Amino acid sequence: MQYRELTSLSYAEICELLSYVFDNNINTVMVINRDEKRQTVTCKFNFNGMKYDSGEPLFDTIYINMYVDFDTNTLESDNFDIDGEEILKAQKYLIAKGCHPLFKDNPYIEKKTNKERLSELVLQAKGIKRTVRAFAKEVGCNASTLTRIINMQNRGCSSYQLMANIAKYADPKSNVTLEMLMEANCWDK
């Protein structure tokens, strides 16, 4: 697994984290601010059904922090207490995404993307009859994302979901599998 900066989490990943931690009770994530220097993410969101006495939706701000040990809270809130179970869920999620300082520059777990192999596999999966733009539309990503992979200009690993979609919509004649893509993409089998 490769180290990722906390601030590299996508909007979708942050929403997934909040939904996981708060048992799918998140209604709307309004604002996400990333602080690269301090490695924190601040989110303003609304819980399902929670409202002020006036009937207006209740929004809260959550601070997601990078942590070095398990004694440091990963989540902090302006308006309510976050219990130990919720903090543990957040820590598990962030570890699964590679967002922990112990992963950084760790020679025992660091694995690099095989950009050349991944480029070949994505081209094979696209097939000869589809354009990159058409394939990207089927896969559910921007054409520029696939172009970066094909041109070996991608930085780090691509998401599991992207690799799964490339495998799902691969040209049947290519014989490209998710396992092949993931191995080239530096994810463990």
pLDDT, position 187: 57
- pLDDT at residue 120 in the model: 94
pLDDT of residue 99: 82
pLDDT for 71: 43
Segment 114-159, tens digit of pLDDT: 888 999 999 999 999 999 999 999 999 999 999 999 999 987 788 8
pLDDT band of residue 188 (cuts 50, 70, 90) is very low
Task: Supply the pLDDT for residue 171.
Answer: 95
Higher pLDDT, 153 or 48: 153
**Cα end-to-end span (Å), the chain:** 10
- Tell me what the mean pLDDT of segment 163-170 comes to: 96
Residue-level pLDDT at 12? 84
Edge-first strand listing for the sheet containing 26-35: 26-35, 40-51, 57-65, 75-77
Q: Of the ranges 43-52, 63-72, 125-134, which one carries the lowest mean pLDDT score?
A: 63-72
Average pLDDT over residues 58-80: 59
pLDDT at 6 over 60: yes
- Picking from 134, 132, 139, the residue whose alpha carbon sits closest to that of residue 164 is 139
Cα(167)–Cα(160) distance, integer angstroms: 11
88 compared with 178, residue with greater pLDDT: 178
Sheet strands (E) in the chain: 26-35, 40-51, 57-65, 75-77
Cα 133 to the center of its chain, rounded Å: 23
**What percentage of the chain has pLDDT greater than the value 70?**
78
Given the structure tokens 């696209």, which residue do they identify? 126
* DSSP annotation of 85: H
Q: Which residue has the higher pLDDT, 149 or 78?
A: 149
Burial (Cβ within 10 Å: 0-12, 13-18, ≥19) of residue 8 = middle
pTM, rounded to two decimals? 0.52
Q: Could you give all domains of the chain from N- to C-terminal order, each with its CATH number?
A: 6-103 (no CATH), 115-184 (1.10.260.40)
Average pLDDT score over residue span 41-59: 70
**What is the reported pLDDT for 10?**
85
Average pLDDT score over the chain: 80
